[in-house]
């Protein structure tokens, strides 16, 4: 199913498959439109997918790249884990974690960058760039290094140190901007009009965003070619949230899946929750906010796909929820102690929303729920600071026994 054109989501104006992202007529966002798929046996499609590489490129028939690249970092094909201890604690029976921290740079951004860089090379770009809250910076720097491309990465200057270190190590041009992510993104948008660079999440955004669909494809394949009943997913710009739904819809249309879209629940931190606030207030648009709070990877105050995320949540009977910094830390701890998975703040947001939905009875205990964990906890270590105590003792059995008694008495 080769890409055919870029298509405005609002007025449906078509454009050639170039590096552009906004409609000249109505300023709506552009998306990749694919040629009509000839009637094809779903069984044949499944066999083709299953014979593919153990990476997101097994789904190349559904991606906007003419030829899957060779020799790049193998993004995708991350584990889908049934987490019975977490489910039991929440009064549920069928909870699955899609752990995308298992990607090469430990977040789902490896997916979108893989697709964007493949398309950038097809278009002849030699330099790639991005505006990032951290995870995208890691991925762009690493994948550009692997591909032999020059890169520029723009981040807010107050980003977590772990994400700064895990970006600069790849030899990128790392630019720390004194401002919020929205100000960083505005700067990069201006630069994209001045320089012949492939900004993966600006002028290549229509292609970049398609990488998120592969999370839906993998989920369905790993569930035995079936749909979950409910999805719980973090929301920043809203692109990941809506593209997972688009992936399920494409496979339903192709005959690879039976049924309807799952219920979609979005998760935001209360410090930057423009989509959750719009959902609660019954609006179909998001009012920009100034980001705050510990969930910095979700800190987009003016989300580009916010209206589409709101529509998706409402038409599937779901919601977009916000949780406090304290709840986020508790979500990180809950996931860690019941599954052994250490997630970054965005994952704490997602697990905290899952817990809130379960507590108020919004999830049927028999539903199959897939929770998307999009990043590694080692990237946001400050979120774990102060969340546990360390026993400090002298090197003697008596000292250990005294400490153990004190801890037991306090429990």
- Cα–Cα distance list, 207 to 121, 125, 216, 223, 251 (Å): 12, 14, 16, 26, 18
What are the 10-residue block averages of pLDDT along the chain, 411 residues in total? 88 95 94 81 93 95 89 90 98 98 96 96 96 94 96 94 93 96 95 95 96 98 98 97 98 96 98 98 96 94 96 98 97 97 97 98 98 94 86 94 91 75
CATH of 80-106+209-383 given 3.30.1330.10, 3.20.20.70, 1.10.10.10, 3.40.50.1100? 3.40.50.1100
Beta strand residue intervals within 244-400, DSSP E: 263-269, 319-323, 368-373
Query: From CA 199, how far away is CA 209, in angstroms rounded?
Result: 12
pLDDT at 168: 95
Q: What is 51-102 written as a DSSP string?
A: TS-SSGGGGGGGSS-SS--SSS-------EEE-HHHHHHTT-SEEEEEEGGG
pLDDT at 69: 83
- Cβ distance 177 to 154 under 8 Å? yes
Q: Where are the domains of the chain?
A: 1-39, 80-106+209-383
pLDDT at 38: 64
pLDDT per residue over 188-234, tens digit each? 999 999 999 999 999 999 999 999 999 999 999 999 999 999 999 99
Query: From CA 200, how far away is CA 210, in angstroms rounded?
Result: 12
pLDDT at 348: 98
- Cβ distance 301 to 182 under 8 Å? yes
């Amino acid at each position: 199913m080769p890409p055919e054109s870029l298509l405005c989501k609002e007025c449906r104006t078509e454009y050639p498959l170039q590096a552009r992202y906004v409609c000249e007529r109505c300023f709506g966002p552009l998306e990749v439109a694919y040629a009509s798929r000839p009637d094809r046996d779903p069984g044949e499609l499944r066999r083709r997918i299953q014979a593919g590489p153990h990476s997101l490129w097994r789904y190349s028939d559904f991606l906007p790249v003419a030829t899957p690249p060779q020799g790049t970092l193998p993004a995708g094909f991350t584990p889908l884990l049934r987490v019975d201890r977490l489910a039991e604690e929440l009064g549920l029976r069928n909870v699955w974690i899609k752990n995308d921290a298992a990607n090469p740079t430990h977040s789902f951004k490896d997916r979108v960058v893989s697709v964007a860089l493949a398309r950038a090379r097809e278009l002849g770009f030699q330099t790639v760039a991005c505006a990032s809250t951290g995870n995208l910076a890691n991925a762009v720097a690493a994948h550009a290094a692997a591909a032999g491309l020059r890169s520029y990465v723009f981040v807010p200057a107050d980003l977590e140190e772990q994400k700064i270190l895990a970006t600069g190590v790849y030899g990128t041009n790392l630019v720390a901007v004194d401002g919020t992510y929205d100000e960083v993104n505005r700067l990069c948008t201006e630069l994209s009009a001045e320089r012949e660079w492939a900004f993966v999440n600006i002028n290549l955004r229509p292609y970049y965003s398609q990488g998120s669909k592969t999370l839906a494809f993998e989920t369905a394949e790993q569930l035995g070619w079936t749909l979950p009943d409910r999805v719980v997913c973090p929301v920043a710009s809203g692109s990941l949230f809506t593209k997972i739904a688009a992936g399920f819809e494409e496979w339903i249309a192709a005959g690879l899946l039976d049924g309807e879209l799952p219920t979609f629940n979005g998760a935001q931190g209360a410090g930057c929750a423009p989509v959750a606030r719009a959902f609660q207030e019954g609006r179909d648009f998001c009012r920009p906010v100034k980001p705050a709070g510990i969930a910095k990877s979700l800190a987009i105050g003016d989300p580009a796909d916010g209206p589409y995320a709101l529509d998706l949540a409402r038409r599937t009977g779901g919601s977009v929820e916000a949780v406090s910094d304290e709840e986020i830390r508790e979500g990180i701890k809950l996931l860690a102690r019941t599954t052994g998975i250490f997630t970054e703040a965005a994952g704490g947001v997602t697990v905290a929303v899952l817990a809130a939905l379960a507590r108020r009875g919004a999830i049927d205990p028999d539903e199959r729920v897939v929770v998307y964990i999009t990043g590694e906890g080692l990237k946001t270590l400050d979120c774990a600071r102060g969340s546990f105590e360390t026993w400090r003792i002298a090197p003697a059995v008596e000292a250990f026994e005294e400490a153990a008694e004190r801890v037991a008495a306090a429990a």
